[in-house]
Structure 1
Amino acid sequence: MLLKKLLKPLVLASLCAGSSFAIAQTKVIYNANGYTPLYKGKMQKGELQQFSTLVIKDGKVVKVGGDTLKESFPDAKLINAEGNTLLPGLIDAHGHVIGLGDNLSQLDVRGAKSVDDVTNKLKQFAQGKQGWIIGRGWNQELWPDTRFPTAKDLDKVVSDRPVVLSRVDSHAIWVNSKALELAGINADTKSPKGGEVIKDEFGHPTGIFVDKAESLIVQHMPAPSKQDISNSLDAAGKHLLSLGITSTHDAGIDKATWEVYKERGDQGNLPLRIVAMLSGASPDLPAMLKAGPYHDNYDFMEIRSVKVYADGALGSRGAALIEDYADRAGHHGLMLETQEKLEALFTQSFKNGFTANTHAIGDKANRVVLDAYENVFKKTGGILLRNRIEHAQIVTPDDIPRFKALKIIPSMQPVHATSDMHMAEQRLTEKQLSFAYAWQTFLQQGSVVAAGSDYPVELANPFDGLYSAITRMDHNKLPENGWRPSEVLSREDALRAFTLGGAYAAHQEFKIGSLEQGKWADFILVDKDYFKVPVEDIYKTQVLQTWIAGMKRFDKKESDAK
């Protein structure tokens, strides 16, 4: 214990990438165009405060105020914000940190307009590389022929090494024949429960594996080392900081990542704040739960929740629906777990002091998950743990009020609506779409919406998400007036969802999410006035500086100069 106490100042210094004197020194950020939502015990329709001066000491907010405030701190270090807009650090309540870091070094086929576009990128990427070739980002909905591609398409450019390409939503993979061979996949291979091996008219696997069928291939892929994971963490952290994200929730980590996160948390050298969820699908879940929640001394790493998976995704027709898909008669998607298994996972999580955050996209999945939560709350308790449903994209009008009654937080990603809108209109009936991506409806009933991006499924830029939340339009300002515009958010509500909403979902509303006295001084300087700039320019916002605990972690000028 004595050693731990002696190490505390060193850890704090390490966390803030400077000396302990630097963090203890009073700093005054002045000449800022500052805005912060205020908590004051209210998560809905709270106040918004404007200010020009921010005072920081010991990494925390002392006070915000007007131009004369700096005169009260004559010995402070003065930092001129040069009139730029200052906002609280943005919180992404649903992302995949290591997946993002991996994606930055793997084949990226996001935005590819055809199979040929993908294979051309693969051919170039594969040159000089040995072993498994891994990539991500394909989306057949963007192609002239929206059917799933096949292994033969990949074989044309790479046939001697296994290729595995994840769909943009990570709920399907596309592999070549070499990968099928190494995994022993043939016409006799059956689809596992909760997954689908897509086969052709002759019963042969085509090379597409949906949801739990992915494991038939993935189990044969080489596992990353701890150093690989750590490198991906650093790469992702650097990218997120450049976008103004000071805290992110990592939706589903395996044991190796859990170990790296705790080691880096103990060492005090994490790039940004992370709220990590244990993967409910991990065979190591019991051991990780038994170890108990993890929390470092400076709120950089929090592990106290479990990510549970109920269904697949809409793009791969894996989202579980009550009624048929509009574009595939007789198909209802995939439930990845039974209600009984969901209840067992919730009970196991609660008894170990962990929250349950459950992926549910389709209306059937959302209903089954709500039923499971309700049953477990009656038997075991846990209703006050701030459990979440991740995505909550398609929910029936009858089930939306149950989120409030059961105190379930809808953790939603606004950019999904603008990415999915054309595909969703094809996949779903008008009845199914009646309360799709219903952020405003959730807010109106008093639910706390925690906003995120689901990177690397989507781009991590939170200003894309803010723009989508406010407009429900794409970057071409279409459709005019927004897609199903009754669900748009105000600029203030959107900012709260990306700040205090995420903080509240992680039990951190008294620590981060706004620039109020005693909270960590996490903030960003940006080049546009978020509240006054024309709406079509919001997604063009550039982050100039990112600060965590009163220490600068990103500077655009310095980054551009490298």
Structure 2
Amino acid sequence: MTLLSCTKPNKEYATTIIFGGNIYTADSLQPKVEAVGIKGNSIIFTGNLKAAEAYKNRETQLINLKGKTMTPGFIEGHGHFMGMGYNELNLNLINTTSYQALIDAVSERVKSAKPGEWILGRGWHQSKWDSLPEEIVKGFQTHHRLSEVSPNNPVYLRHASGHAGFANAKAMELAGLKVLAKEGIQTTFNADGGEVIIDEFGRPTGIFNERAQTLITKRIPEKTLETDIKAFELATASCLKNGITSFHDAGIPKETIALYEKMKSEGKMNTRIYAMLTGWDKNLLEEWYAKGPLIDPDHLFTVRSVKLNCDGALGSRGAWLLQPYTDRPNHFGHETLPMDFVQETALNGLNNGFQVCAHAIGDRANREILDRYEYALQQHPEAAKNHRFRIEHAQHLDPEDIPRFSELNVIPAMQAIHMSSDRPWAIDRLGEQRIKDGAYMWQALLQSGVPIVNGTDVPVEPINPIASFYASVTRKTLKGTPDTGYEPDQKMTRQQALKSYTIFAAYGAFEESIKGSISVGKLADFTIFDQDIMTVAESDILNTKVSMTIFNGKTVFNAATK
């Protein structure tokens, strides 16, 4: 059947009809269709090809998928939009495989840096390196070689997780920290909710964990509007190239809100942003509680949630655990935000119409947050009926807490790619029993009746959703190991994985009525892949490429024209 001839007049014509491929809707009532009709930026038809004829006139654009696969526009369920953009402007260390590679990258940047200019970067992860350097303290490298290659330029390199950072001597000098004395200097630092790693002489090694990072970051010059705009543009381009049409931005300050409003007013908002207010700024929260959520009628920039950072990351041993780290006895990680403030924010959220999204990786952090949520929900039963509070990451759970997500209607926003990247070394942190009983418990949570919001936590991981989809359905590393996947009983089905990137993610932002599935009346956002991710051999999933991204009814990325 081809769409070549006009049919009898119809009340409503499509500006675009898409057909000729595998169209997966993520709509349980009609999981797969032959054709989709769009009028402007809305879907007006889904169904079989013959019925689509009634929506065609002489002006209708026809898009023949030619066997490709179309899904609802993918939604990045937890990421850091500006961080992704700045990762491109600064040193991107995500692919470094050794300390030497990190040193080489900095050494090269020093050649073009102005005297005294800060050198910034992000993406290193010592547990993913091929080997550790000879000199390590508490599992981390020390600054000495970094300081040698950049004696005059301060350097600060964030860990891939964002929960630790690595500074050279110049940066620490500017921060007022003594790094050269051999003994008899201060051995503790004011770092509530964090840790300055020190050597046997009490000297800082250059590693700043969790909130201790502020000792360095407060010395880094402010960003400029010019660099912010460039980072925004780079982030937008990266989203569209990877088929991401919506983005849950996990914690933004006042300045970023102003930037997004400016970009929207100038017609440059080509990815829908669902923003979480940063919980670090109490004044910002009070300001928004007073005026209430911003639910954008254009569905481009919405602010109706609060992000709380309640513990650290597993890689930096900052995740807050019930039992000590297997590879660092007597260390339980860090409570990076007082639990009293979590409870206060949960109550304020319910009172003022804001969703609360709390970062928790360790099992202690998850339990403590669930306790605070439960208290707040009991205090305000009416407001609790559709609260959709979330826990971001929910990576490591005590088995007793798994059913509490469903009981409390708390949504886990879990980035499947973290399992793929972290599981090979996570067992060193937690031991085999804790891994098996409570790590990356996707199927257990889904079977309990809660949806999972998927994503990548970019720039912690690249934004590529195919890698996270692959991890979701295989529980393997990106190298394809182990053969059966880690804890294979927790794999998602492909349908579950698709929904976690589409309709479940939309639900996690109160937006399931406007997007997340290819259904009549919803926004015309689509991702088109060069092969069928729902049926292709597991070994070929990672070879999938985004062919086209359609946003608001318009083609905004086409691989064929790049």
Give TM-score, length-normalised by structure 1.
0.91
Contact 1:180/1:207 (8 A) holds in 2: yes
Matches within 5 A, 1:310-325: 310-325=310-325
Structure 1 match to 2:19:
30
Q: 1 CA distance for matches of 2:458 and 2:33?
A: 32
Note closer, same or farther for the CA distance 1:33–1:175 as it changes in structure 2 (3 Å cut): same
Q: 1 CA distance for matches of 2:128 and 2:467?
A: 19
Q: 2 CA distance for matches of 1:55 and 1:214?
A: 51
Structure 2 match to 1:98:
82
Contact 2:309/2:360 (8 A) holds in 1: yes
1:403 pairs with one of 381, 385, 405:
405
2:479 aligned with 1:471:
no
Matches within 5 A, 1:232-251: 232-251=231-250
Report Cα offsets for 1:16-43 as digits up to 9, x if no partner.
xxxxxxx9962111212211111xxxxx
2:389 pairs with one of 352, 365, 387:
387
Contact 2:250/2:307 (8 A) holds in 1: yes
Q: 2 CA distance for matches of 1:237 and 1:526?
A: 19
Q: CA deviation at 1:226?
A: 2.9
Structure 2 match to 1:74:
56
Contact 1:500/1:513 (8 A) holds in 2: yes
2:36 aligned with 1:54:
yes
Q: CA deviation at 1:231?
A: 2.0
Q: CA deviation at 1:495?
A: 0.2
Report Cα offsets for 1:118-149 as digits up to 9, x if no partner.
11111112222221110011111133127312
* 2:89 alignment partner, SS class: coil
Contact 2:79/2:459 (8 A) holds in 1: yes
Contact 2:75/2:244 (8 A) holds in 1: yes
Paired residue type of 1:117: A
Q: CA deviation at 1:405?
A: 1.0
Q: 1 CA distance for matches of 2:118 and 2:283?
A: 25
Give TM-score, length-normalised by structure 2.
0.91
Paired residue type of 1:374: E
* 1:454 alignment partner, SS class: coil
Report Cα offsets for 1:160-197 as digits up to 9, x if no partner.
01100000101000000110011112353514221001
Contact 2:80/2:458 (8 A) holds in 1: yes
Contact 2:191/2:212 (8 A) holds in 1: yes
Q: 1 CA distance for matches of 2:192 and 2:272?
A: 36
Unaligned runs of 5+ in 1: 1-22, 39-45
2:164 aligned with 1:172:
yes
Contact 1:311/1:320 (8 A) holds in 2: yes
Give the alignment's Cα RMSD to 1 decimal.
Answer: 1.7
Report Cα offsets for 1:512-543 as digits up to 9, x if no partner.
00100000011122111112211121122111
2:509 aligned with 1:520:
no
* Bigger Cα displacement from structure 2, 136-145 vs 313-322: 136-145
Contact 2:14/2:56 (8 A) holds in 1: no
Paired residue type of 1:92: E
Structure 2 match to 1:483:
486
Contact 1:95/1:453 (8 A) holds in 2: yes
Paired residue type of 2:361: I
Q: 1 CA distance for matches of 2:294 and 2:227?
A: 22
Contact 2:420/2:478 (8 A) holds in 1: no
Q: Which runs of 4+ in 1 moved over 6 A?
A: none
* Bigger Cα displacement from structure 2, 262-271 vs 219-228: 262-271
* 2:38 alignment partner, SS class: strand
Contact 1:30/1:70 (8 A) holds in 2: no
* 1:174 alignment partner, SS class: strand
Structure 2 match to 1:450:
453
* 1:83 alignment partner, SS class: coil
Structure 2 match to 1:327:
327
Q: CA deviation at 1:63?
A: 1.1
Identity of counterpart residues, as a percentage? 37
* Bigger Cα displacement from structure 2, 485-494 vs 295-304: 295-304
Q: CA deviation at 1:288?
A: 4.0
Q: 1 CA distance for matches of 2:194 and 2:141?
A: 18
Contact 1:30/1:67 (8 A) holds in 2: yes
Unaligned runs of 5+ in 2: 1-11, 134-138, 179-184
Q: 1 CA distance for matches of 2:387 and 2:287?
A: 21
Number of residue pairs aligned between Structure 1 and Structure 2: 530
